[in-house]
Amino acid sequence: MASFPLLTSVLLAPIAAAILLCFVSAKSVQSVRVICATAMSVGLLLTVYAFFSYDLSAGGMQFVEDVPWIKDLGVHYALGVDGISLPMLLLTELIGLAAVFSSWSIEKRPKEFYILLMILIAGVTGTFIARDLFIFLLCYEVVVIPIYIMVIIWGSTKRVSKEYAGMKLTIYLLMGSAFMLVGVVALYLQAFPPEMRTFDMQALAQAAAMGHFSEGFQIFAFFLLLLGFGSLLSMFPFHSWSPDGYAGAPTAVSMIHAGVLKKIGGYGLIRLGLLVLPLGAKFWGPLIAGLAMINVMYAAYIALAQHDLKYVIGYSSVSHMGYVLLGFAALNVVSISGAVANMVAHGVMSALFFAMIGYVYERTHMRSVKELRGLAHQMPRVATGFMLAGMASLGLPGLIGFMPEFTIFVGSFSVYPVFAVVAIAGIIFTALYTLRMLAKILFGPRDSRFDKFEDAKGVAMMPLIILGIALVGFGIFPQLLMGMVGSGTEQLLPLLDRIADAPAFLGGVR
């Protein structure tokens, strides 16, 4: 089994499905859906297998594949996963499968929708398993196109038009990639002399360790990456695409975008920013921490003033990303582990939220907390889904969200006490907007307008089941997730020690 190209299979599963779909009649909708569900199930099963057979004690990149591709540029088709990327891959596959089920009842051009969805998932998958920067960028660019088309065609118009939302999403994604591209090219040119040039991330990290990047260069290049990845992660003030984008996007896109795509930002900051440009990361750490605090509080406050469910969750996700940024900025093993785990946690809960909102919206065509009420009467299962996601979102122990947040707090408190305390106060506001929203839409007197809508069952239950298992499972057994993440982040230890005394922005504000 050692030679079985597991990661390639995971990557190819959605691509194969997309190609296969081209040859399926658009009328046989059921086979379209089944093909996608099968492909994603295969991907998920393989990923779960990888997750549980990953050798934690050995650590490092495993399931590696390496085929030279463009020799002149030093590009390799190199895949592999470690403790940081494997959880992200698992997240992608979980949400991918859930998104397929959530889109089950799409009536407008289902075949095209699913083809685009598969390409989207493949693109996201690729970014997390690539060990080669070129592949990473390639996959990232693949993501942009389907997103735009899907929002424009299958999106919905509420406060902003879907065209505006789609354009905003795309421009931000492209702006991020433009900054990233410049940063990456600079890295590529700076790392090695012409004949040795490579896009291999590990080699680039080694180049950094050998001192091929001057401090000034690192600070400059990291800033570019921060603009790129930061806007992807909806870092203040580059966050406003997120609520608008989710509001305009169809359910599956919201799920994937909030659940995984956004996390490419955090993943990139660690994989590229920290590993290759450690001095840059150290320098900008205090700025990131400050922005992180603003992210948490500012977005949580704004979420309180929202009525559209998708906006509540949109701002909530901006707020949660603040915790990820805070964990990253503190630059120690505990806090970075928390940041990675929090990306997974938030991915699962926001995908579940969007799946539930999508279910309700598809039937009632309502999304406002002013219109929806007492849904627990007619849709107890959907209400359970909302409750699970909501409780995870406010960091209830026993669900996936608690431990990552706790580790972020432990890790960042001693580094940025003031920022951390303010960010921790965010748990009060998170609870407030979450509970208000849940109370208004789920509870209260029975409203006969909703009597004709039935509760989720069969296929519509699948997102709830898939994501619910992850929510509760990783909540009760946090070590499953944290152990995996820890095996990846502990490899950062020598690097973090090395930069511990490096200079920081404004002398390291606290």
Partner 1 sequence: MFYEFALEHAWLIPLLPALAFVVIGMVTRSHGRISALIAVCMSIISFALAAGVTYAVVNNGITVDAPFVQKLSWLHIGSVNITMGVLIDPLTAMMLVVVTTVSLLVQIYSCGYMKGDPGYGRFFAFLSLFAASMLGLVLAVNFLQMYVFWELVGLCSYLLIGFYYYKISAREAAKKAFMTTRVGDFGLLLGILLLQITFGTVDFLELKTLIPGYIVSAGTGTLTVIGLLLFVGPIGKSGQFPLHVWLPDAMEGPTPVSALIHAATMVVAGVYLVGRSLFLFSQLPLVMTVIAWIGAFTALFAASIAITQHAIKRILAYSTISQLGYMMLALGVGSLTASFFHLMTHAFFKALLFLCAGAVMHAMRDEADIFKMGGLRKKMPVTFAAMTIGVLAISGIPPFAGFFSKDEILGAAAAVSTPLYVVATLTAFMTAFYMARLLFVAFFAKPADEESYNHAHEVGKFMCTPLIVLSVLAVISGLWGHLCGFGEWVRFGMPHAEGIDLGIAVSSTILSLIAFGLAWKIYVAQTWSSDAIAEKCGILYKLSFNKFYIDEIYAALIKWFVDGVAKVLYWIDVNIVDGIINALGALVRGISKLLSPLETGQAQCYAGIFACGAIALAVYGYFYAGKIVAMLGGAF
Instruction: Rule CB under 8 A: choose which of 53, 178, 479, 500 binds partner 1.
Output: 479
Question: With binding defined as CB under 8 A, does residue 409 bind partner 1?
Answer: yes
Which of 244, 247, 254, 235 is CA-nearest to residue 352? Answer: 254
Q: Does 332 bind partner 1 (CB under 8 A)?
A: yes
CA neighbor of 183 nearest in space, from 287, 284, 280, 286: 280
Amino acid at 230: G
Distances (CA, A) of 287 to 83, 204, 280: 27, 25, 12
Q: Quick one: 218 or 295, whose CB is closer to partner 1?
A: 295
Query: First-to-last CA distance in the chain?
Result: 50
Min dist CB 398 to partner 1, Å, is: 6
Q: In the stretch 273-312, what mask flags binding to partner 1 with x, by CB under 8 A?
A: -------------------------x--xxxxxx------
Task: Tell me the site size for partner 1, rule CB under 8 A.
Answer: 58
322 or 358: CB nearest partner 1:
322
Residue nearer to partner 1 on the CB measure, 51 or 192: 51
One character per residue 155-184, x = contact with partner 1 (rule: CB under 8 A): -------------x--x-------------
433 contacts 316 by C-beta, under 8 angstroms: yes
Mark the segment that binds partner 1 (CB under 8 A) among 79-87, 181-189, 248-256, 418-426: 418-426
What is the crossing angle of helices 215-232 and 162-191, to 10°? 160
Task: Check binding of 391 to partner 1 (CB under 8 A).
Answer: yes
- What are the Cα distances from residue 376, in Å, to 246, 366, 441, 463, 486? 24, 15, 8, 18, 39
Choose the stretch contacting partner 1; rule: CB under 8 A; options: 44-52, 356-364, 410-418, 454-462: 410-418
Among 103, 177, 242, 407, contact with partner 1 (rule: CB under 8 A)? 407
Is 368 a binder of partner 1 (CB under 8 A)? Answer: no
CA angle 340–7–150, rounded 5-degree value: 75
**Separation between Cα atoms, residue 95 and residue 256, nearest integer Å:** 6
What is d(CA 180, CA 229) in angstroms, rounded to the nearest whole number? Answer: 7
- The residue type found at 441 is I
The stretch among 83-91, 137-145, 233-241, 251-259 that binds partner 1 (CB under 8 A) is 233-241
Q: Which stretch binds partner 1 (CB under 8 A): 212-220, 264-272, 357-365, 436-444?
A: 436-444
Q: For the CB of residue 392, give the shortest distance to partner 1 in the complex, in Å.
A: 12
Contacting range for partner 1; rule: CB under 8 A; set: 59-67, 205-213, 342-350, 431-439: 431-439
User: Which position among 256, 462, 485, 504 is part of the footprint of partner 1 (CB under 8 A)?
Assistant: 485
Own/partner pairs for 476-483, CB < 8 Å, 24+ apart? 476/398, 478/341, 478/402, 478/403, 481/87, 481/341, 481/344, 481/400, 481/403, 481/404, 482/337, 482/341, 482/403, 482/404, 482/407, 483/56
CA geometry: angle 96, 464, 251, nearest 5 deg? 50
Q: Which residues of 176-196 are buried (b: 16+ CB within 10 A; e: fewer)?
A: bbebbbebbebbbebbbeeee
Three-state DSSP class for residue 108: coil
Question: Which residue(s) pair with 368 in the sheet?
Answer: 308
* Residue with smaller CB distance to partner 1, 126 or 166: 166
Q: Say what angle helices 380-393 and 462-476 make with each other, to 10 degrees.
A: 40
Stretch that binds partner 1, among 186-194, 353-361, 391-399, 502-510 (CB under 8 A): 391-399
Q: Name which of residues 457 to 476 contact partner 1 (CB under 8 A).
A: none
Calpha distance 9→74 (Å, rounded) = 24
CA distance 276 to 426: 32
Query: Binding partner 1 by CB under 8 A: which of 225, 312, 379, 442?
Result: 442
Structure tokens at 349: 């809960």
Binder of partner 1 out of 27, 370, 446, 498 (CB under 8 A): 446
Per CB under 8 A, the list member of 478, 488, 499, 504 interacting with partner 1 is 478
- The DSSP letter of residue 195 is G
Whose Cβ is closer to partner 1: residue 93's or residue 244's? 244
Which residues are registered as beta bridge partners of 81? 62
Contacting range for partner 1; rule: CB under 8 A; set: 31-39, 123-131, 393-401, 498-506: 393-401
Of the candidate spans 112-120, 178-186, 214-222, 442-450, the one that interacts with partner 1 by CB under 8 A turns out to be 442-450
Is 490 one of the binding residues for partner 1 (CB under 8 A)? yes
436 binds partner 1 (CB under 8 A): yes
CB of 205 to partner 1, least distance (A): 20
Least Å distance between CB 171 and partner 1? 8
In angstroms, what is the minimal distance from the CB of 445 to partner 1? 5
Which span sits near partner 1 by CB under 8 A: 140-148, 218-226, 280-288, 437-445? 437-445
CA-to-CA dists, residue 195 to 189, 192, 205, 207, 388, angstroms: 11, 8, 18, 15, 54
Taking CB under 8 A as the rule, does residue 421 contact partner 1?
yes
Query: CB under 8 Å to 453, separation ≥6 — which residues?
Result: 363, 364, 378, 379
Q: Summarize as ranges the residues that interact with partner 1 (CB under 8 A).
A: 168, 171, 237, 239-240, 244, 298, 301-306, 332-334, 337, 374, 376-377, 391, 394, 396-398, 402-403, 406-407, 409-411, 413-414, 421, 424-425, 427-429, 431-432, 435-436, 439, 442-446, 478-479, 482-483, 485-486, 489-490
